[in-house]
Amino acid sequence: GRALLVLLLSATVSLLGGLIFGYELGIISGALLQLQTDFQLSCFRQEVVVSAVLIGALLASLAGGILIDRHGRRRAILVSNLVLLVGSLLLTLARSFTVLVLGRVTVGFAISVSSMACCIYVSEMVAAHQRGLLVSLYEAGITVGILLSYALNYIFADVEEGWRYMFGLAIAPTAMQFLSILFLPVNPVKFSSWDSDCQKGLIPLQDTEDRAAPKWEPHQEKHYSFLDLFRTRDNMRRRTLVGLGLVLFQQFTGQPNVLGYASKIFHSVGFQSNSSAILASVGLGAIKVVATLVAMALADKAGRRVLLLAGCVVMAISVTTIGLTSRMAPLAMARDCRAATDPNASHSLTQHPLTPVLPQSAVSPVPPAPGAVKGQAGPGFAATTSLTKVFASTQGKEVVTDTSLTQKRDLVGQSKTGTRESTGPPLSAAPWAQHTVLNWITLLSMMAFVSAFSVGFGPMTWLVLSEIYPAGIRGRAFAFCNSFNWAANLLISLSFLDLIDAIGFSWMFLLYGLMGVMAVIFIYFFVPETKGQSLEEIDQQFSRKR
């Protein structure tokens, strides 16, 4: 009975940790619409509010590993919960821009520490044959959290100071996770106490055959310094290569930017009714949830390596297809920092000048295309640019485009001010409106990309990272790789628009396809299979293999 309780609590901690992460990343897209009005935020200040979470997350990546290794995974999660409660209260009660930014930095720090500690703690708590399922549950929680955030964005869109409720509701799952982990053991079970701990029911018992097998030898935990990550001791350098390769390829295959075009692609294939915005956000979110559930079911059966390879192959094909179809049927794109906050804003920069101009780091990855429509492109199209997408695609957790909220605001704004007249050619004159078949291929490719990412790189990267390092340095190693993940995400987001201007939209996506092929080669030659093995066996496998 106690073993089952520990298993359920571990699952709860993993799910709630992911849900909080996804919720905090997704909620800003709707809250920003109200914050821009209530705080009179300039374009630059909008950028600061959005990117403040990234700053906190980077700080956590640098300092969180030490906290996790020295003070334990469980304590790190408890501390992150308390910090998150403080951050949520700061955001809920904020009366100034400074407090708002401070709250966002605090939240970013907390969710980054929590994400690392949760994956490591759960991987160490459960049996080998359940580890893939329960660690992948974290990724499932993220997709649910994102959908929940967009649902609440829609609900509170027209509530006065609704952003306070949006930020404040994060307190509920945080408190639930805090209470859940209080009932779990302080430290994960070590094999040196395998027999006694099994009898006490602290970890799920293996099958009868496993218990009848020869007993484990006592395992003495080794101590490592941070520099050991780059040395040949216990083959640590190769482990670091595997970890960094996974997180960098996860970002360089283009996932931070692909979903930036979701609502635009939905619009181009004819979803122009009032439900188009909901389809663009919730529809893709539902696909992510289903794909993540598939990954959970297969992680301990097919294996991590197989899912990574299969996901990468599909991602490479999908993103290459998007690049090829966009050469034949260019999408009409524009960049405008107010597109996310002004539903009736035109996508013409000359029609709606910006003062000041938003730095590219916070602009939605929406490049201008030759022959693009300069007037307003119809209901829901203003939702193409959501500032949070640029920074929120961290840890492989890309945010589904939030279009439902902007659609709702769009209708309200039109009833008050009327629709602005278009200064460009009519909608039907758009180059992409004449390529229905190609646009549907683009849409299906994007859905395949999202599914493949959610099966492969999304959950498997963090599962492998939580397995391949020795316990004595697991927290610092995880944090080190995580910091490269955040940095690579920022680099991809910052350079995207400049690269589009330099080489074009289609070539950019073809480049992502090439990176996908390189990722397949990397995984095939460097990433071992870890399914069904205890953490000690994985450690020994890496130590022996040169």
- CATH topology assigned to domain 1-187: Growth Hormone; Chain: A; (1.20.1250)
Contacts with 196 (C-beta within 8 Å, 6 or more apart), sequence order: none
* Helical segments of 156-170, H only: 162-168
Same fold, 1-187 and 227-332+432-545: yes
* Of 104, 121, 87, 127, residue with least CA distance to 17: 121
Class of domain 227-332+432-545: mainly alpha
- Are the C-beta atoms of 17 and 81 separated by less than 8 Å? no
Q: In 3D, which of 168, 183, 318, 161 has the Cα closest to residue 254?
A: 318
Boundaries of every domain in the chain: 1-187, 227-332+432-545
pLDDT at 187: 62
Q: Is the peptide bond before 356 cis (omega within 30 degrees of 0)?
A: yes
Please report the pLDDT score of residue 41 as a whole number.
85
pLDDT for residue 268: 62
pLDDT in tens, the chain (546 residues): 677 888 888 889 989 999 999 999 888 878 888 898 889 888 788 878 888 888 898 889 888 888 888 888 899 999 999 999 999 999 999 999 999 999 999 999 999 999 999 888 888 888 888 888 888 888 889 989 988 888 888 888 888 889 999 999 999 999 999 999 888 887 655 433 333 343 344 444 444 444 444 343 444 567 777 787 888 877 888 899 999 999 999 988 887 777 656 656 666 666 665 455 555 666 777 888 899 899 988 888 888 999 999 999 999 999 999 889 888 876 655 554 554 444 333 333 222 333 333 333 333 333 333 333 333 233 232 333 333 343 334 444 444 444 444 444 444 444 444 444 444 444 444 554 566 788 788 888 888 998 999 999 988 998 999 888 888 888 889 889 989 988 887 787 667 767 777 887 788 889 999 999 999 999 999 998 888 888 888 888 887 765
Structure tokens that stand for 159 in this block: 């509530």
Cα dihedral 266, 268, 274, 280, rounded to 10, equals 10
Name the percent of the chain in helix, strand, coil, to the closest 5: 75, 0, 25
**Structure-token pair, residue 241:** 């290569």
- Provide the pLDDT for residue 113: 93
> Which tokens is 210 given?
């496993």
Burial category of 368 from C-beta neighbours within 10 Å (exposed 0-12, middle 13-18, buried 19 and up): middle
CA 77-82-87 angle, to 5 degrees, is 120
The Cα 179–Cα 79 span in angstroms is 12
